[in-house]
Amino acid sequence: MLALIRAIIVIIYTILVCVFGGIYCLFSPRNPKHVMVFGHMFGRLSTLFGIKIINRVPEKAKKYGPSIYIGNHQNNYDMVTMSNGVQPRTVTVGKKSLVLIPFFGFLYWITGNILIDRSNRSKAHNTISQVAEQIKKHQISIWMFPEGTRSRGRGLLPFKTGAFHAAIAAGVPIVPVCVSTTQGRIKLNRWNNGHVIVEMLEPIETKNYSKEQVRELAEYCHDLMEAKIKQLDEEIAEIDKQNK
């Protein structure tokens, strides 16, 4: 019953946010300021799911300037956990098919997010160049999931290099954002689904990396995030132990 109630509330909330948000954005369409606003609105659903967010996003992050944020992509709950870490003038890069999702698709597009066609490798490669140009031209930041798909409990998957190519081309830092494991920990019929930690790491400068070193940069970031996620999971386990 609790799962059904939650599902109904989420559907109603999402439709309202998407409809009224879409209308609001018509007055300044595709303005990058919108993504953080609505990202944080969806982040508020964490309370509905019985999730207590421990948000470790430093206040100084607002002054980082144009960057590429990379996060671990676990499952659909990223929408209510990781979205709490989205910073000002940050847009995301997502599949072109997202625009087909009723209500949400229009909001995703009109808030200024970048859509790519993953079925066409040449277009996707060209998009990376466009991303770098958009960063430099509009002084925006980009949020990407370098795993390319949801991991669904398989650990941090190997990184694709698109985000790192774009960072090097634009001359901006990579900012890793790590979220403790949520797969298998959140149950819709349970009131209390414990804590989830969202932690933003220090920026990693890319100016000393060349195009030939992009894989080296990707692996360095992967190892850094993998170690941090393990640390966060251990911390969550200790919190759970204390709350028993």
Sequence-distant (6+) residues with CB within 8 A of 61 are 87, 175, 200
| Alpha-carbon distance values, 60 to 41, 55, 74, 201, 232 (Å) | 21, 14, 26, 12, 21
DSSP, collapsed to helix, strand or coil, labels residue 55 as strand
Query: What DSSP character marks residue 142?
Result: E
Chain centroid, CA 47 distance in Å:
18
pLDDT value for 130: 81
For strands 141-144 and 174-179, give the pairing: unpaired
pLDDT 10s digit of each residue in the chain, 244 long?
899 999 999 999 999 999 999 999 999 999 999 999 999 999 999 999 999 999 999 989 888 899 999 999 999 999 999 999 999 999 998 888 889 999 999 999 999 998 877 666 655 567 788 889 889 989 999 999 999 889 998 999 999 999 999 999 999 999 999 999 999 999 999 999 999 999 999 999 999 898 899 999 999 999 999 999 999 999 999 998 888 7
Dmax (CA) for the chain in angstroms is 55
pLDDT value for 242: 86
pLDDT value for 119: 63
pLDDT value for 127: 74
| Alpha-carbon distance values, 106 to 40, 65, 151, 189, 244 (Å) | 18, 27, 26, 31, 44
pLDDT value for 36: 96
pLDDT value for 125: 64
**Residue 108 structure tokens:** 């995703």
Rounded to the nearest 5 percent, the helix, strand and coil shares of the chain are: 50, 15, 35
pLDDT tens, position by position, 206-220: 998 988 999 999 999
pTM check: above 0.85: yes
pLDDT tens, position by position, 55-69: 999 989 888 899 999
Q: Are 81 and 47 in contact (CB under 8 A)?
A: no
